[in-house]
Structure formats: C-alpha cells, structure tokens
Amino acid sequence: MGHKIAVYGASGVTGRFVVAELDKRGHEALPFGRAQATADDPAALDRALAGAAAVINTAGPFAVTAGPLIAAAERAGIPYVDVAAEIEANADTFARGATIPVVPAMAFFGGLGDLLVTAAMGDWTSADSAHVAYGLSGWQPTAGTLTAGQVSRDRRAGQRVRFHDGELQYHHDTPPTLDWEFTDGPRAVVGEFSMADVVTVPSHLPIPSVTNYMSVEAAQGLQTASPRQEPETFEVDVRVRRGPEERRMTASGKDIYAVSAPLAVEAVERLLSGRFTTTGVASAGKMFNAKDFLTSLITIQTTRRS
C-alpha cells in the first residue's frame, strides 16, 4: 500500500526525479515549496506536512531548510530524509540530533559513498582510511547545486575542508592532482575534493581519515556551469584500508541527480516499513543494512573487489 510523502522543493531538478520515483513505486507525492511554505514559517510547514507519512527535503541551501524541516517533521512525528551535499549543513544536522529517524545526505553525494564504504568494511570494526573517488564524465550542476555550494564556501570563508586525524580541517592550500585507476582505466582526479562523505562516513565508522577525489572533467564542469544536456556517467570507486589490507566497492551508472531519487525514496520506504536500525540522526550506512540497500538499487551497478 502506498504512502503520502511530502516533497519539499518538488519543482527542482532532484525534486522532480523524487516525485516521479514515488509515483513509480505507488506512493502519492505531496509536493510543496517556498511558494507554499518558507523555511522560516513553522505554521506553513506544519500545514504542508499534514497527512504525510514522511518528508523528503530536496530544497537547498540545506543550511537554511534542513533545521526547520526537521523540526516540523518532529512536530508531525514523521521520518525526515534529505539530499544535502553541503558539508556544513550535514554536520549541523548530526550535531542537532532528532527525536525521529533522520537521514541526511541520502543522495548521490554522501549517501551512496557511505553505503559503499560501510559495505566494503564488512566484518572490519575499524580502518585506517577510506578513499572515495568520483569518476564522473562531467558535471552539469543545477542552479540549486551552485547556490548551495556558494553557501558552504561562504560559511568556511573560502577555505577547503578535509577529514584527517579524526576531525574536519580547514585550509587554503592547493589540492593535488593525481591519477586514479578506475575499472575502465586511469583518470586524472583532484585530490581532497571533499564532499558530504567526510561527514557521513566518520559519523558512525571509526576511520580517522576520509578522502574524496573528483575527476578533473567534473571539477572543471562545476566551475563553468552550463545548461544540463546529456546526463553524465559515473563510477564511484571506494577503497578502505587497514594496514596492508585493502577492500574495494565500485558503483556505476548514469545521471547523478536522477540516482538521488531512488536512494532517497528507498530510504523512506525502509523507514516506513521498520527496516532500520536506530532512531535520531544517522547516515545511510548506520541507519540501514548497507549491503542489502545497495542490492536493491537496480539503477546502480555495484561490484566488490578485494
């Protein structure tokens, strides 16, 4: 039986994908946005969530929308999921806590990497480092992505961020460029191109160093934004290291924005059917069975390599 799921930011690129995914799975989307309820209007948010079984927030900047939407979900007593890629906004959500199940960064950036790292860990209880490399054929950022990214940069005064020695570190040095061996061969990547993984992964896994890498083509595309045309292809290659040992998981597919929809909707379905492990704020790898979750995503091909 389908559920009524509120979708904030339903008219945006990711929001439209989420609404379509809900419809495909037999749920009823309750779309709303800033025209119906701004983040600073609790009463309007409460009205928008009336009758909803859960809420998916796709409207950034999440530094502005996440906190108020979580509070509204708490008042309604329903689960909250968002697709935030903003490092600081996700850190805020984990620090905030919640009385309901809350899954931040349940999207291509953040959720997918966290699931892959968690699955790659397997029976390991700790690791020395985790490396998440994004082999995108390009990046055609939406207006929302650009706005959210600027909010994050402003919050950290233009500094770069990385997760080393068990903490987020901010700095001004130039990121390294190196070659990463993806399944289809080597590709130039920008090192320490930190994404939401530097918050989601260490939120529940004892790994003192989490490093992201982004293909040079994608990094350049983010700097020279143009209208979206042919969706990008991607390979996300995860390597977890403990001493001399290394475990790997790889996911591949097409269209990073479209992929966020099944990730978010699958999360909501699992929350509403009791297939989760904890309450409060938790990343995908903590809230769900990572291996089983990845297996359910027919839009993503995953491979484990040791």
Residue 224 in this model has a pLDDT that exceeds 80: no
- Which helix (H) or strand (E) is 240 found in, with range? strand 233-242
- For residues 26 and 95, membership in a common domain is answered with yes
Under the banding of pLDDT at 50, 70 and 90, the label for residue 225 is: low
Domain extent, residue 24, equals 4-108+258-305
Tell me the pLDDT tens digit for each residue of 133-158. Answer: 999 999 988 888 888 888 888 898 88
Before 141, cis peptide (omega within 30)? no
* Neighbour order of strands in the sheet with 28-32: 28-32, 4-8, 54-57, 80-82, 102-103
- For residues 69 and 134, membership in a common domain is answered with no
For a pLDDT cut of 70, what percent of the chain falls above it? 97
Total domains present in the chain: 2
Q: Give the pLDDT confidence score for residue 306 in this predicted structure.
A: 59
| Average of per-residue pLDDT across 289-295 | 96
Give the Cα separation of 158 and 234 in Å (integer).
Answer: 27
| Of 79-93, 197-211, 225-239, 277-291, the least confident | 225-239
- For residues 160 and 197, membership in a common domain is answered with yes
- For residues 267 and 251, membership in a common domain is answered with no
- For residues 78 and 208, membership in a common domain is answered with no
Q: Is 251 in contact with 267 (CB distance < 8 Å)? A: no
Assign residue 122 a region (left: φ > 0; alpha: ψ between -120 and 50; beta: otherwise): left
Q: Is 146 in contact with 225 (CB distance < 8 Å)? A: yes
| Of 58-62, 105-109, 110-114, 151-155, the least confident | 151-155
- For residues 243 and 275, membership in a common domain is answered with no
- CATH number where 248 lies: 3.30.360.10
- For residues 80 and 120, membership in a common domain is answered with no
| Average of per-residue pLDDT across 274-280 | 96
- For residues 177 and 157, membership in a common domain is answered with yes
